[in-house]
Amino acid sequence: MYQYDRLDRQLLNSRSAQFRDQVARRLDGRLTEDEFKPLRLQNGLYLQLHAYMLRVAIPYGVLSSLQLRGLAQIAREFDRGFGHFTTRQNIQFNWIKLVDAPDILDRLASFDLHAIQTSGNCIRNTTTDPLAGAAHDEIANPLGWCEIIRQWSTLHPEFAFLPRKFKIAVSAGATDRAATAFHDIGLRMVKNSSGEIGFWVLVGGGQGRTPRIAQTLTPFLPTRHLLSYLEAILRVYNAAGRRDNLHKARIKILVESMGISEFAELVNTQWLNMQGSAHDLPAGEQARILAHFEPPSLRPAADAGESIRRYRLQDRGFDRWIGQNLHPHWHPGYVSATVSLKQNGRPPGDASAAEMIALADIADTYGRGELRVTYTQNIIIPHIARQDLPKFYADLVAAGLGGAEDGLIGDMIACPGLDYCNLANARSLPLADRIFTHFKDPDLRQEIGRLRLNISGCINACAHHHAADIGILGVNKKGVEHFQISLGGAAGEDAAIGKIIGPSFAEADVPAAIGGLVHTYLKARHEGELFADCIRRIGHDPFRDALYGTG
Amino acid sequence: MVQADMMIGEQTLAGRVESSQLLFDLATAGCVAWPVSGLCLVTDSIAPASKQIARIDTISIEFPVFSDGRGFTLGRCLRTEIGFTGALIALGHIIPDQAIFLFRCGFSHAAIKPEQLAQWQTALNAITIYYQHMPASARSRQAKTH
């Protein structure tokens, strides 16, 4: 992973000192709240229902074990002992005091983390495939490009006050595991006919109240032009994006209103104007950054097949976990493993300080001291030798993190909802737990198979309910929390926006409704047919009938 | 970026700057005398015929509200695409914390309230490292190099 040098550290320390001064000016009244707000937001500090929330950037979801231990310390000292991992591969602390924020930023800087641009109308943390650099199906390792984008977008002087927030995702696998089509800019690494690697650039995707799937801006951009092209897109957006209406300010609205071809023409004209000026990263600097992401040298691994088969027969939990939580690696003797942060009684994505420390130890013992935060609010530990899996699993179980939920109905994404967030209409977390309870039999969850269920507490769609097989949206119906169900969304290369199936349900009725949908699927599916494929084949009607009757 | 359909207002600074305001030099962190005349663009306006504009001595860009970042793009385009080399003044609602961003987007001066002079001076030196390998402009600070 990227190793900070003296200049990277100096930048973080200056930024932290700058924020300390801004907080002091706010506390003594020299800054108004209106003036302070964008400054604190660009340092990750939100004001929620009960306290400040600090969102810490985990660049493209990659954490060292040392950093995870540092985050655990922050959870203990400044929060209530927990951290909350988000769909944007970040971590949030929900119980922060404003006066502590500068100290926390100093602490983060001491282990090369920060909260810069995790909020506000600026370029946010770039996200990517949690298996990046460890996947079996990659065209190239996208992490170096993510770091290049991180550096370029950090304190970019021209783009700190955009019309609205701006999110970039990069994916390089044959399967898109970064939901690139739901980002302001999606970058998919591809090879052209002459074998050169470049980016397929998508623009204008997003969720919220106006969900849109990103459209192709250019099918192939040579990697060396990445920054000048991003700069051209951002420049067009910054100049022409709407600023009169918060709900129409994202780039998806601009792209839609002028049409993708006119937008592409503006970007290309802008890009051509910029040619010759040094907008692209100099080759030497590009090479310096990419060199941090060379593949690890992994020892040849012994054939572990027999011993793993034996363990699977002995231990039902291990058998389930092996079947569900592993990801193939480019090295046949290795895998990457999901650590599920989804359990009955646990808000999805929450981890305690003790759990973070246990995971850091496990990553040091069996992996390369590196962990990934996933879009689905779990942790992945990459580069695990297959022969170590029984011990690896035993350590996870000892830490209380042996759940085999990856991709199953229990692997829900949920936003913090009305328990924390002042935007929410409804509480997502208790509903997630009720649904988990409804499907409490692990054999049933396994029988249902891969099924993405996401719960957003309001139309801002932080839990990506639009992109779920089953999406649940909290609405306010005459002052009472209700939930609207949609079906058929998908986040990957077959991205689709779910369709609302009918009138909303009271909270208590939602688990049974989900039960009805699942029952309909189990009855109708062909052998091995995924929920999404089943819906495509039989349509929404059988599901609607199951919920609302045939009348 | 040059957009033809946008309004351009050629006006004096009168009425746009309060008499007490200082003209802060973003390169030296000192204050200088106001220019007598010049072209004032509101943030909506994007430069017209580039050759005309490149010959002007002073251009002011007015920010309607500090969170409206169009002025940064406008300033940077004037410098890097139109080749404007005169004085570029930021007017309107701007805050000291934007000093470095303004400077790095090509602004040479900012119209500030006298009581904020010290804050502008502090802010200008808050961060001296940056990542962007921006095209050399008339004024650029220390870039991150290896």
Q: Which residue has the higher pLDDT, A442 or B58?
A: A442
State how far the Cα of A515 lies from the Cα of A438, in Å rounded to an integer: 8
Is A116 contained in some domain? no
Q: Which run of H or E residues covers position A396?
A: helix A389-398
- Chain A partners within 8 Å of B44 (Cβ): none
Is A501 contained in some domain? yes
Residue A492: CA count within 13 A, CB half-sphere = 12
Is A122 contained in some domain? no
* CB neighbours of residue A452 within 10 Å: 23
Beta-carbon separation of B127 and A159 below 8 A: no
Best residue in B70, B82, B113, B120 for a mutation probing chain A (most A CBs within 10 Å): B70
First to last CA, chain A: 58
Mean of pLDDT over chain A: 95
Torsion angles phi and psi, residue A154, rounded to 5: -75, 115
Q: Which residue has the higher pLDDT, B3 or A425?
A: A425
A67 lies in the same domain as A104:
yes
A284 lies in the same domain as A321:
no
A141 three-class SS: coil
Q: Which residue has the higher pLDDT, B44 or A55?
A: A55
Torsion angles phi and psi, residue A3, rounded to 5: -110, 125
Please give, rounded to a whole number of angstroms, the shortest distance from the CA of B18 to a CA of chain A.
20
A283 lies in the same domain as A312:
no
State how far the Cα of A510 lies from the Cα of A503, in Å rounded to an integer: 12
Chain B residue nearest residue A276, CA to CA: B135
State how far the Cα of A209 lies from the Cα of A187, in Å rounded to an integer: 23
Q: Which run of H or E residues covers position A128?
A: strand A127-128
pLDDT in tens, A512-539: 999 999 999 999 999 999 999 999 999 9
Is A121 contained in some domain? no
State how far the Cα of B108 lies from the Cα of A238, in Å rounded to an integer: 21
Q: Determine the average pLDDT of the residues in A333-359.
A: 96
**Residue B21 CB-density burial (10 A; 0-12 exposed, 13-18 middle, 19+ buried):** middle
A539 lies in the same domain as A485:
yes
The one-character DSSP state at A119 is S
Q: How would residue B42 be classed by pLDDT, with cut points 50, 70 and 90?
A: low
Beta-carbon separation of A30 and B130 below 8 A: no
Could you tell me if B100 lies within 8 Å of chain A, comparing CB atoms? yes
Is A417 contained in some domain? yes
Q: How would residue B143 be classed by pLDDT, with cut points 50, 70 and 90?
A: very low
Q: How would residue B36 be classed by pLDDT, with cut points 50, 70 and 90?
A: low
Q: SS3 for A265-278, per residue?
A: HHHHHHHHHHCCCC
Best residue in B127, B139, B141, B142 for a mutation probing chain A (most A CBs within 10 Å): B127
Residue type, position B37, single letter: S
Could you tell me if B37 lies within 8 Å of chain A, comparing CB atoms? no
Chain B residue nearest residue A269, CA to CA: B1
DSSP B49-110: SHHHHHT-SEEEEEESSTT-THHHHHHHHHHHTS---SEEEEEES--GGGHHHHHHTT--EE
Is A73 contained in some domain? yes
Dihedral Cα B19, B21, B27, B32, nearest 10 deg: 40
> How many domains is chain A partitioned into structurally?
4
A240 lies in the same domain as A313:
no
Beta-carbon separation of B72 and A238 below 8 A: yes
Q: DSSP H helical segments within A63-142, as ranges?
A: 65-78, 101-110
Where among A110, A133, A162 does a domain terminate?
A110
Where among A398, A422, A443 does a domain terminate?
A398
Q: Which of A218-222, A282-286, A287-291, A411-415 has the lowest mean pLDDT?
A: A282-286
Torsion angles phi and psi, residue A400, rounded to 5: 80, 20
Indicate the residue of B46, B130, B133 with minimum beta-carbon distance to A155.
B130
Q: SS3 for A333-360, per residue?
A: CEEEEEECCCECCECCCEEEHHHHHHHH
A219 lies in the same domain as A281:
yes
Q: How would residue A235 be classed by pLDDT, with cut points 50, 70 and 90?
A: very high
- Chain B partners within 8 Å of A227 (Cβ): 133
Predicted confidence (pLDDT) at residue B146 exceeds the cutoff of 50: no
CATH of the domain at A283: 3.30.413.10
Long-range CB contacts (< 8 A, 24+ apart) of A536-541? A536/A488, A540/A487, A540/A488, A540/A499, A540/A501
Position B37 scores a pLDDT of: 66
The pairing of beta strand A168-171 with beta strand A127-128: parallel
Please give, rounded to a whole number of angstroms, the shortest distance from the CA of B15 to a CA of chain A.
24
Could you tell me if B67 lies within 8 Å of chain A, comparing CB atoms? yes
Q: What is the pTM of this model?
A: 0.95
Beta-carbon separation of A15 and B100 below 8 A: no
Is A120 contained in some domain? no
Could you tell me if B113 lies within 8 Å of chain A, comparing CB atoms? no
- Chain A partners within 8 Å of B68 (Cβ): 161, 243
Predicted confidence (pLDDT) at residue B9 exceeds the cutoff of 50: no
Chain B residue nearest residue A5, CA to CA: B146
Where among A369, A398, A427 does a domain terminate?
A398
Long-range CB contacts (< 8 A, 24+ apart) of B129-132? B129/A7, B129/A10, B129/A11, B129/A14, B130/A11, B130/A155, B130/A157, B130/B104, B131/A11, B131/A151, B131/A152, B131/A154, B131/A155, B132/A152, B132/A156, B132/A157, B132/B104
Could you tell me if B34 lies within 8 Å of chain A, comparing CB atoms? no
Complex confidence, ipTM = 0.93
- Chain B partners within 8 Å of A6 (Cβ): none
Beta-carbon separation of B1 and A236 below 8 A: yes
State how far the Cα of A531 lies from the Cα of A101, in Å rounded to an integer: 44
pLDDT in tens, B70-95: 999 999 988 888 888 889 999 999 99
Q: What is the number of helices (H) and of strands (E) in chain B?
A: 4, 6
Are A57 and A125 contacting, i.e. CB atoms less than 8 angstroms apart? Answer: yes
Indicate the residue of B70, B97, B133 with minimum beta-carbon distance to A282.
B133
A99 lies in the same domain as A12:
yes
- Chain B partners within 8 Å of A22 (Cβ): 97
Indicate the residue of A154, A155, A281 with minimum beta-carbon distance to B133.
A281
Predicted confidence (pLDDT) at residue B39 exceeds the cutoff of 90: no
Position B33 scores a pLDDT of: 87
A332 lies in the same domain as A448:
no
Chain B residue nearest residue A271, CA to CA: B1
Please give, rounded to a whole number of angstroms, the shortest distance from the CA of B29 to a CA of chain A.
17
Best residue in A119, A161, A270 for a mutation probing chain B (most B CBs within 10 Å): A161
Instruction: Return the residue matching tokens 């991205």.
Output: A495
CATH of the domain at A101: 3.90.480.20
State how far the Cα of A73 lies from the Cα of A308, in Å rounded to an integer: 36
pLDDT in tens, A363-417: 999 999 999 999 999 999 999 999 999 999 999 999 999 999 999 999 999 999 9
A239 lies in the same domain as A99:
no
Q: What is the number of helices (H) and of strands (E) in chain A?
A: 18, 21
State how far the Cα of B7 lies from the Cα of A291, in Å rounded to an integer: 48
Tokens representing B17 are: 């700057």
Predicted confidence (pLDDT) at residue A219 exceeds the cutoff of 60: yes
Indicate the residue of B76, B105, B126 with minimum beta-carbon distance to A18.
B126
A342 lies in the same domain as A449:
no
Angstrom distances, CA of residue A80 to CA of A74, A108, A418, A422, A427: 9, 17, 18, 20, 20
A176 lies in the same domain as A203:
yes
Indicate the residue of A22, A240, A277 with minimum beta-carbon distance to B135.
A277
pLDDT in tens, A268-281: 999 998 875 568 89
Dihedral Cα B5, B7, B8, B11, nearest 10 deg: 170
- Chain B partners within 8 Å of A162 (Cβ): 69
Nearest to A69 by CA among A98, A108, A20, A14: A108
- Chain A partners within 8 Å of B64 (Cβ): none
Is A30 contained in some domain? yes
* CB neighbours of residue A291 within 10 Å: 10
Torsion angles phi and psi, residue A366, rounded to 5: -110, -20
Residue type, position A317, single letter: G
Could you tell me if B122 lies within 8 Å of chain A, comparing CB atoms? yes
First to last CA, chain B: 31
A146 lies in the same domain as A264:
yes
What is the strand order of the sheet A350-352 is part of? A45-47, A52-56, A91-96, A82-85, A350-352
State how far the Cα of A314 lies from the Cα of A195, in Å rounded to an integer: 48
Enclosing domain of residue A60: 6-110
Mean of pLDDT over chain B: 78
